[in-house]
């Protein structure tokens, strides 16, 4: 799969029940539908759909000056939507429900917007996200503030 932002070939990072497509060039990340809810699963492994609403179809388009991108699955133009409880994170969402794309830093922004704080994340999730972000993910990280 090629990155929707820079067209570089993405590689798959496997973590428990999900496969995240990650761009080594721009550090973007593609989540297939439902994978983000699995990432933030509760201790029993149940997906937390309450933390991540149906961003693929239910949210309105966001105002953005960013260039439109194409879904790496169906190649249709993706929508720009603001996600998270405070609608503070702008992501690209496939209107056909295939998934959504996070630019560099937007995963950490979503963690902060979910108000769960990185220190409250299970160590396994923090380690995985830290690998994706290329740095330690901690609630007091100066890059997060």
Q: Is the pTM of this model over 0.85?
A: no
> Residue 100's pLDDT is what?
87
pLDDT beyond 50 at 116 = yes
Give the tens place of pLDDT for each residue, 120-137.
666 666 667 666 655 565
Domain boundaries, the chain: 11-133
92 close to 80: Cβ distance less than 8 angstroms: yes
Decide if 130 contacts 111 (C-beta within 8 A): no
Question: What pLDDT does residue 82 have?
Answer: 84
Question: Which residue's structure tokens are 């100066």?
Answer: 142
Asked whether the predicted pLDDT for residue 5 surpasses 90, the reply is yes
Q: Are strands 79-83 and 18-22 parallel, antiparallel or unpaired?
A: unpaired
Q: What is the pLDDT of residues 52-100, one digit of tens each?
A: 555 555 666 777 778 889 999 999 999 998 887 677 788 999 988 888 8
Please tell me the distance from the alpha carbon of residue 95 to that of residue 88, in angstroms, as a whole number: 20
Q: Which string of DSSP letters, residue by residue, matches the chain?
A: -B-TTT-PBPEEEEETTEEEEE-TTT--EEEETTHHHHHT--TT----TTTS--TTTTSPPPP--SPP-B-TTT-PBPEEEEETTTT-EEEEE-TTSSEEEE-TTHHHHHHHHTT--GGGS-HHHHHHHHHHHTS---TT-GGG-
Over residues 19-36, the pLDDT tens digits come to 889 999 999 999 888 787
């Amino acid at each position: 799969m090629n990155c929707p932002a820079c067209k570089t070939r993405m590689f798959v990072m496997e973590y428990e029940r999900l496969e995240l497509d990650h761009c080594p060039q721009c550090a973007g990340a593609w989540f297939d539908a439902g994978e983000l809810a699995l990432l933030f699963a509760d201790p029993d492994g149940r997906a937390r759909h309450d933390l991540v609403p149906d961003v693929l179809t239910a949210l309105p388009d966001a105002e953005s000056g960013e260039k439109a991108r194409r879904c790496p699955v169906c190649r249709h133009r993706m929508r720009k939507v603001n996600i998270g409880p405070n609608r503070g994170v702008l992501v690209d969402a496939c209107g056909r429900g295939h998934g959504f794309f996070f630019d560099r830093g937007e995963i950490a922004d979503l963690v902060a917007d979910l108000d769960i704080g990185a220190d409250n994340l299970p160590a396994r999730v923090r380690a995985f996200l830290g690998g994706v972000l290329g740095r330690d993910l901690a609630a007091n990280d100066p890059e997060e503030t």
